[in-house]
Structure 1
Amino acid sequence: MNKILRSLLLIATTLSIIESGTALAADKLETAATKFVESNGIKFSYRILGPQSGTPLVLLQHFTGNMDAWDPAVVNALAKNRPVVVFNNRGVGATNGVVADNIAQMTTDAYAFIQALGYKQVDVLGFSMGGFVAQELAAQHPELVRKVILAGTTHQGGGNHLMKVLGEAFSRANAPDPRDYLFFSQSEAGKQAAAAFLSRVYARKEGRDPESGKEIADAHGKALIVWTSTPDPEFKTLKAIQQPVLVVTGSNDTMLPTEGSITLYKQLKNAQLLLYPDSNHGSIFQYHDSFVNTAEFFLSH
C-alpha cells in the first residue's frame, strides 16, 4: 500500500510540475528527439529543449551548419531556464525544399518556422550567417523579436574572408574537421578548446542530421558573400533594430572580421559588446561557460 501511495504522490507531483510549466524535464541536445512542423510548403526539422515557461530562444545557424553543429555545452546550458529551439532552415539537414541562396529567403523561412510553432514573442541567437538572419528578423518583426544575440557575425556590407579562410582550412594536411581552424585561435589554448568542442559536437550518435554537401555550400556561400558585399552605408537595417542586442566576437575573427562586430555595437541603438581574447570565429564555443553566463544575464534582465 505504501508503494502505491508513493507512486500516486510521484505522479501527482509530476503532473503539477508539468501543468505549472516550470520544470519540465528536458533532453540534452545530444539526445533530444527531432520533430517536424510544416509551414509554407516546407517541413522544418527542429529540436526543443528546456522548460515550457519563459521566452523561447531560437538559434539561427552558420554557413552549411545543421542542428548537430551546435555546441551542446552552449545549448544545454542556455536551456536550463528557458525553452531553446534549434532548427534546420530550408533544404538543410532533414528539412525539405531547395536551399535558399539569399538572406531574404532565409529570413522569410525562419519567420514562417517560428510562426508555425505558435510563438508570439521570441529571443534569437544568430551565429555567423545566422546573425544576418537575426538582424533582418529583428528589423522586420519587432513585435516578434524581444532580444537579440549576435555572435561571430557582421553587418550588411561588412565584408568577409570566407573563400580565403576556407581554402586555408581545407589545405592543411591531416585536418579531420576544418572548424578547429575556422572557429578557434591557433594558440595552445585555442587548440585545446577546439579539440574539446569537436568532441562535444560529435557526441550525438543516433539520429544525427545528414552532413551538408556542395549544393548547400554553394547556396549558403552565395548568400553570405552577397549580403556582406552589398553596401548599406546608412545602416538602415541596424537603425531599424530597437531591441536590446548583445554582440559577441573573438579578438581575431578571420572569417567575418572583428571590426564588423564593433560596427554593430556602435550603430545599434541599444547594444552591448563582448570581446573575447585569443579567439577566432567561434569564441562562444571556446569560452562557452562565460558566454552562457553573460547571455543568461542579458536575456533575464
Structure 2
Amino acid sequence: MSLLPRPKTDQLVDRYPHVRVGDGPKTLLVIPGLGDAMFDGEYGRSGAWAVRYSFRRFLDEYTVRVVSRPRGLAEGTSIRELARDYARVLETQIGPASVLGISMGGLIAQELANLRPDLVDRLVLAASGCRLADESVQIGRRLRWYALEEEWTKIRTELLREMYTGYRRTLYPRLSATVGRLRPPTPAEPADVVVSIDAVLEYDGTDRLEEIEPRTLVIGGDEDPFFPEEILRETHAGIPDAQLAMFRNARHGAYLERKEGFDNWVKGFLADETRAASL
C-alpha cells in the first residue's frame, strides 16, 4: 500500500469523537482504554494521523473506526452502561463490526459482545480481561486520587511505568514527569477520569464470560500488572470460543512494545489463521 488513506474525523450522534481510516470492505471498531478520558475530546490532525499510522497494516481489508466515549459521563456510569452506548452507535451509525477493545475498552467490548452478539463479528480483548487483578487495585485507587486532585501528569507517568519493560520503563516515566510537564494531558471533563477509573475498579464480568458468543482473541502480556497471566487465562477459559496469545516478559503496553507481533496475531485471528500460543 503506497499511500495511506486520509483519516476523517467527526462526532457520531453528536457525542462520540470518532476517527475513520481506510475504506476496506470490513469494519474494525476500536474501543480505547482509560487514556480516552484524558484528552480534550477533539481528534486533531496529529491524533487522527497517529490512528492511521497505528492501524496501517489493517487498511487493505478494513475500515478502521476508533470511537471515543462522550465527554461528561454521569457519576456512577458502569462498564455495562458504556457497552449499551456502543451498541447504539453500532446499531445506528456503523453496523456489525469486528471489535478490538484495549484495556478498559476490552471490558466494554466483552460487555458489548454479551449484550449484542449480533453486532460483533469477532472480538479482540487486548491487554484486558474479565476483571482487574487484586494486586493492581491499589494502583487504581492511587490513580483515582490523582484524578481527584487533577494531577494528570502523575497519572500519565504512573501508567507509563506499568506499560513498558526494559529501558522504556525508566525513560518514559522520567520524561513524562520532567519535560512532559510542559504538555500535560488535558481532559475536557476532569470528572470523566474519576468515573472511568471507578467503572474499571468495580467491574467483574467473570460470571458472564460463558455468555459471550462471538469468537474471541484474548491477547496481552504475562507481566501486565492489571491483567496478568492468570487473568488472561481465566478469561480465555471462560469464553466458549476463544483463543489466547500471550507475550512473555511483557507488561500492559504489550500491544505497543510488541506491535508487529500483536498486529500479526490480530490480523491472523480476524482472518481465521491463528492458534493459541505464548510468544
In structure 2, the partner of 1:49 is 21
In structure 1, the partner of 2:117 is 142
1:78 maps onto 2:53 in alignment: no
1:300 maps onto 2:247 in alignment: no
Out of 235, 240, 243, the position equivalent to 2:214 is 243
Task: Assess if the C-alpha contact under 8 Å between 1:254 and 1:280 holds in 2.
Answer: yes
Q: What whole-Å deviation, never above 9, does each CA across 1:59-92 have from its counterpart, x for those lacking one?
A: 111124256598665423333420111011121x
Taking a change above 3 Å as real, the CA distance of residues 225 and 48 of structure 1, as seen in their structure-2 partners, is same
Out of 130, 150, 157, the position equivalent to 1:155 is 130
Measure, in 2, the Cα distance between the counterparts of 1:71 and 1:162.
30
Identity of aligned residues (%): 18
Task: Assess if the C-alpha contact under 8 Å between 1:24 and 1:50 holds in 2.
Answer: no
**Partner SS state of residue 36, structure 2:** coil
In structure 1, the partner of 2:160 is 180
1:26 maps onto 2:2 in alignment: no
5 Å-filtered alignment, 1:1-301, equals 26-27=5-6, 32-38=7-13, 43-54=15-26, 56-65=27-36, 68=47, 74-91=54-71, 98=74, 101-119=77-95, 121-156=96-131, 159=134, 161-164=136-139, 167=142, 177-185=157-165, 187-188=166-167, 211=187, 214-228=190-204, 235-301=206-272
Taking a change above 3 Å as real, the CA distance of residues 175 and 124 of structure 1, as seen in their structure-2 partners, is closer
| Aligned AA (1:45) | P
Task: Assess if the C-alpha contact under 8 Å between 2:21 and 2:52 holds in 1.
Answer: no
Taking a change above 3 Å as real, the CA distance of residues 175 and 142 of structure 1, as seen in their structure-2 partners, is closer
In structure 2, the partner of 1:15 is none
Measure, in 1, the Cα distance between the counterparts of 2:220 and 2:8.
31
Normalising to structure 2: TM-score of the pair? 0.75
| Aligned AA (1:107) | A
Deviation at 1:25, TM superposition (A): 5.8
Equivalenced residues, count: 248
Normalising to structure 1: TM-score of the pair? 0.70
Measure, in 2, the Cα distance between the counterparts of 1:45 and 1:36.
5
Larger Rg computed on CA atoms: 1
**Partner SS state of residue 161, structure 1:** helix
| Aligned AA (1:133) | I
Deviation at 1:45, TM superposition (A): 1.7
| Aligned AA (1:225) | L
Measure, in 2, the Cα distance between the counterparts of 1:53 and 1:26.
14
Deviation at 1:116, TM superposition (A): 2.5
| Aligned AA (1:53) | P
| Aligned AA (1:63) | L
Deviation at 1:246, TM superposition (A): 0.8
In structure 1, the partner of 2:276 is none
Measure, in 2, the Cα distance between the counterparts of 1:74 and 1:117.
23
Deviation at 1:44, TM superposition (A): 1.7
The answer to which structure has the higher helix fraction is 2
| Aligned AA (1:127) | I
Task: Assess if the C-alpha contact under 8 Å between 1:49 and 1:79 holds in 2.
Answer: yes
